[in-house]
Amino acid sequence: MRWLPVLYVVAVLLLEPVTPVDWPVSFALICVPVLTAFAHGPGVVAAATVFSVGLEGVLAGTPCCAGRAVGYLWDRHYVASYICTVLVGGLGTVLAAHRTRRERTLADVRFVAETAQRVLLRPVPHRLGHLRLESLYLSASAEARIGGDLYEAVPTRFGVRLLIGDVRGKGLLAVETAATLLGAFREAAYDELDLPALAGRAEASMRRRARQLGGTETGERFITAVFAEIPTDGHVVRIVNCGHPPPISLRGGEVRELDSGRSAPPLNLGMLVEDPYHIDEYPFRPGDQLLLYTDGVTETRDATGTFYPLLERLRAWGPLPPKELLRRLHDDLLSYSRNSLQDDTAALAVCLVPEEHSVASPAA
């Protein structure tokens, strides 16, 4: 867009000598100020207006270009063209000033949104004890920086506790709901003795906040989530699933979903069943990797409407460290959807580092 006015002027200059004398193509220079306003500031638009008027006068008095004598410079038709160019230039200057203000406002809004994103979704540490962690967040909107997908990793006396969740709906309400859950998790993860108690504490916080917000959708403000715990004194991972896509275990070339079929209802819907939260325990040995993700991954579609084959992709890629795994997943999702994601996407990859590597790392 920045070069569009220049290309337009070049096109006019190329057309002028080859058009009939009665077709003064130079009148088309009236559009130059408006074209300039799309990508430049008011000062550049004003300069483009002066340039256009001067170029119209030059072309009007150049017989080799238009077949007219110098006396035609002040012909009433050309004077009208000069006046119109000045008026259009004034309009373009106003439009450029308005666009510049809007761009500054948008930049400020993006800055605030990015700050809110860092507060809401703080970057997870790349290393917690013997665990290596990486996170991924993709927004479905190019303008959006925050949404309802969330993740967190907290080191506690019980081990590292993990959370990934997906808020029903979009917009500011989803962001506020995500902030409520993250706040409850970050506080309760240090105190609750086990994952069912932790999930119950999050459930209570979500239910209380939903009642405070009120409205007809109180019962529909729910979050699917997975709570996971990797203790420091045992090679296991404990999981409580609340209506969320099951985590995936990657061990060497083996890729499988950790789904026992005992998923609890989403948070804020736990009152629908009695004793909803059950712990599932799986082996988690050095070198194993755990992938937590939101349904934005598996519900990504290609041009034919086919869902993203996550398990097939993971098996085809083979063993990858967390950072490389999420980078590959990021690129593949964008390629698969042709850069048109329909939903926000979050993922958290956790790898238990082999003990000999853990001992050698500090010395390195």
* Per-residue pLDDT at 279: 93
Domain 121-363, CATH 3.60.40.10 — does that match?
A: yes
Within a 10 A sphere around the Cβ of 142, how many other Cβ atoms? 7
Q: Which of 219, 227, 200, 196 is nearest to 269 (CA)?
A: 219
Looking at the chain, the number of H-run helices and the number of E-run strands are 11, 11
* Per-domain residue ranges of the chain: 4-112, 121-363
* Per-residue pLDDT at 113: 65
Q: Which residue has the tokens 């194993």?
A: 288
Cα 217 from chain centroid?
26
* Per-residue pLDDT at 118: 67
Q: Where are the alpha helices (DSSP H) in the chain?
A: 4-15, 32-37, 42-60, 63-66, 76-120, 171-188, 195-213, 295-298, 310-317, 322-337, 355-363
Q: Which residue has the tokens 């790898």?
A: 351
Cα 289 from chain centroid?
25
pTM, entire model: 0.71
Q: What is the chain's pLDDT, residue by residue, as a tens digit (364 residues)?
A: 788 888 888 888 787 777 665 566 777 888 888 888 888 888 888 888 888 888 877 776 654 444 444 444 455 566 777 788 888 888 889 888 888 888 888 877 777 666 666 667 778 899 998 999 999 988 766 555 566 789 999 999 999 999 999 987 666 677 788 888 999 999 999 999 999 999 999 998 888 877 776 655 555 578 899 999 999 877 899 999 999 999 999 998 899 999 988 888 998 886 667 777 889 999 999 999 999 999 999 999 998 989 999 999 999 998 899 999 999 999 999 999 888 887 888 999 999 987 654 444 333 3
* Per-residue pLDDT at 196: 93
Q: Which residue has the tokens 């108690």?
A: 197
* Per-residue pLDDT at 216: 52
* Per-residue pLDDT at 362: 38
Torsion angle of the four alpha carbons 326, 330, 331, 337, in this order, in degrees rounded to the nearest 10: 150
